[in-house]
Amino acid sequence: MAKGVVPRTARRIPDATIRRLPAYLRALEAEAGQRLTSAALGVLTGFSSEQVRKDLAYFGAFGTRGVGYPAQDLASEIRHILGLDRELKAALFGAGHLGTALARYVAATHRDVRIVAIFDPDPEKAGSEIAGTAVTSLVDLEGEVERLGVAVAILAVPEAAAEPLARRLAAVGVRGFLNFAPVMLSLPPALDGGPPITIHNIDLSIELQTLAYFVQVHETASV
Amino acid sequence: MAKGVVPRTARRIPDATIRRLPAYLRALEAEAGQRLTSAALGVLTGFSSEQVRKDLAYFGAFGTRGVGYPAQDLASEIRHILGLDRELKAALFGAGHLGTALARYVAATHRDVRIVAIFDPDPEKAGSEIAGTAVTSLVDLEGEVERLGVAVAILAVPEAAAEPLARRLAAVGVRGFLNFAPVMLSLPPALDGGPPITIHNIDLSIELQTLAYFVQVHETASV
DNA sequence: TAATGTGAACGCCTTCACAGCA
DNA sequence: TGCTGTGAAGGCGTTCACATTA
């Protein structure tokens, strides 16, 4: 292959690969050494060295044969691939315990993601502040979201509130959702040929109930 | 998800199938009608009808050709498969905002999962109560866990605390972990040929950072 | 020599197509 | 007739094996 800049759209990249990139990034940032081999990165992240090499090779040839990967440069590269070299503007919905925990966690650990607004319908919460961001009522929700340029929404709201809210947000251009409510969000497939909408669901019940299965199965299996 | 050794059952059941069972169960309980076809279940859960049929067929022939599946019976069957016909005893670690939210959510929505203990090192929290369960200090952690028969642990603790804690718990027989700390837990592979340990990680950073990728990619793709 | 980058083989899931049965 | 249950086909992702190169 010709040397130099590798086209970023050359091949289709597996979702599974994308989901491993944050782990590589975390490991690279924690190490901060000069170089790491794919084997070392594998140990740090729990993936095989072949997996590490294949994943990274989708985006270009960042390593040096016989040596390994340059930690700093590779970290920058992954940040760029994930789009974390530009600040991601997020809005949080729901200032309950879950929302509060999320806001604090993001503020404390993600320089690349900024929570630009926190919305909650409770009038008693409006005006308070969580991790440096004011809690706002839902009056003029759409106006605020558009004014702030919110790209993604984090939904920490009750089950019934999630879908109507998501629809309103999708209508004003929010294209990513991190949904903690135990419902399958079904949104219209993006208005008028606009960019697709991505939904990531985090469902505690699924995790708990599948955990129940694996714990139970292993119980019977050992007999 | 953790891989885990697969026991000898009739057929090997894909992990992906297990992860869909809670969605079927939720849909069946919400409907509560007499019968549902695989197509109807598919619409409710967002999966294809073939997928629904294949998943259910792994465990037996529950449906009637030309008719569909009996909602009540199928729900019971799925609860049995997941092991939810016996109460799952869980302990929660960390009584911060996240832990509080989790405890309340589980208490409010899961009759089949019971949080039998909440542990937190903060002496000011010990003695208080969350969702009807007392918060306990870490004194005699092992004794309490064994006495209560804790099967799974929910870890809502700081990053640094997660792995040492998990090791202590694994040593006294806890076999399932739901880990919210952003670390790859690496536990010894189950002591003396005992049952395997299952770890489910819920990592907010991974979800946020991959969401950043998809939002970004679609941006460039549409131009 | 050591470790990357990559075609090929493999295995797991999903989708397809249809046989089987109330 | 209508919908389930299931072998076969197909697709996707991981693992293997090795050619490649600093």
Predicted TM-score of the model (pTM): 0.93
Question: For B30-67, b where at least 16 C-beta lie within 10 A, e where not — what string?
Answer: eeeeebbbbebbbebbebeeebbbebbebbeeebeeee
Q: Where are the alpha helices (DSSP H) in chain B?
A: 15-31, 38-45, 49-57, 71-82, 97-109, 141-148, 159-171, 204-221
Domain end marker among A82, A101, A116: A82
Å separating the CA of residue B16 from the C1' of nucleotide C12: 10
Å separating the CA of residue A48 from the C1' of nucleotide D16: 12
Which tokens belong to B135? 């918060």
Please, which residues 92-131 of chain A have a Cβ atom closer than 8 Å to chain B? 96-98, 100-102, 104-106, 109-110, 112-113
Who among B101, B113, B214 is closest to A96 (CB)? Answer: B101
Reported as a single tens digit per residue, the pLDDT across B7-50 is: 334 468 999 999 999 999 999 999 878 899 999 999 999 999 99
Nearest-neighbour CA in chain A from B58: distance (Å):
15
- The answer to whether residues A75 and A21 touch, using CB atoms and an 8 Å cutoff, is no
Task: Specify if A3 maps to a domain.
Answer: no
Task: Specify if A193 maps to a domain.
Answer: yes
| Residue B182, pLDDT score | 95
Say whether both B134 and B57 belong to one domain. no
Task: Specify if A59 maps to a domain.
Answer: yes
Distance CA B159, CA A10 (A): 37
**pLDDT confidence tier of residue A219, bands split at 50, 70 and 90:** low
Say whether both A23 and A53 belong to one domain. yes
Amino acid (one-letter) located at B25: L
Say whether both A71 and A53 belong to one domain. yes
The count of domains in chain B is: 2
Q: The CATH number of the domain where A48 resides is what?
A: 1.10.10.10
Say whether both B77 and B110 belong to one domain. no
Task: Specify if B66 maps to a domain.
Answer: yes
Residue A132: closest CA among A154, A100, A155:
A100
Q: Which domain holds residue A64?
A: 15-82
A72 touches strand C (CB under 7 A): no
Say whether both B132 and B178 belong to one domain. yes
Task: Specify if B213 maps to a domain.
Answer: no
Reported as a single tens digit per residue, the pLDDT across B135-156 is: 999 999 999 999 999 999 999 9
**pLDDT confidence tier of residue A138, bands split at 50, 70 and 90:** very high
Task: Specify if A216 maps to a domain.
Answer: no
How many whole angstroms from its chain centre is CA B164? 21
Say whether both B73 and B126 belong to one domain. no
Q: Which of A19, A218, A223 to mutate to test the interface with B (most CBs of B within 10 A)?
A: A218
Please, which residues 135-174 of chain B have a Cβ atom closer than 8 Å to chain A? 151-152
- The answer to whether residues A67 and A35 touch, using CB atoms and an 8 Å cutoff, is yes
Q: The CATH number of the domain where B124 resides is what?
A: 3.40.50.720
Say whether both A50 and A25 belong to one domain. yes
Instruction: Give contacts of B21 with chain A, Cβ < 8 Å.
Output: 209-210, 213
Checking each nucleotide's C1' against the CA of A17, the nearest proves to be D13
Say whether both A109 and A30 belong to one domain. no
B78 CB within 8 Å of a chain A CB? no
Say whether both B146 and B40 belong to one domain. no
Say whether both A65 and A164 belong to one domain. no
Domain end marker among B82, B98, B120: B82
B45 touches strand D (CB under 7 A): no
Nucleotides of C under 7 A from a protein CB: 1-7, 12-17, 20-22
Distance CA B179, CA A34 (A): 31
Task: Specify if B215 maps to a domain.
Answer: no
**pLDDT confidence tier of residue B195, bands split at 50, 70 and 90:** confident
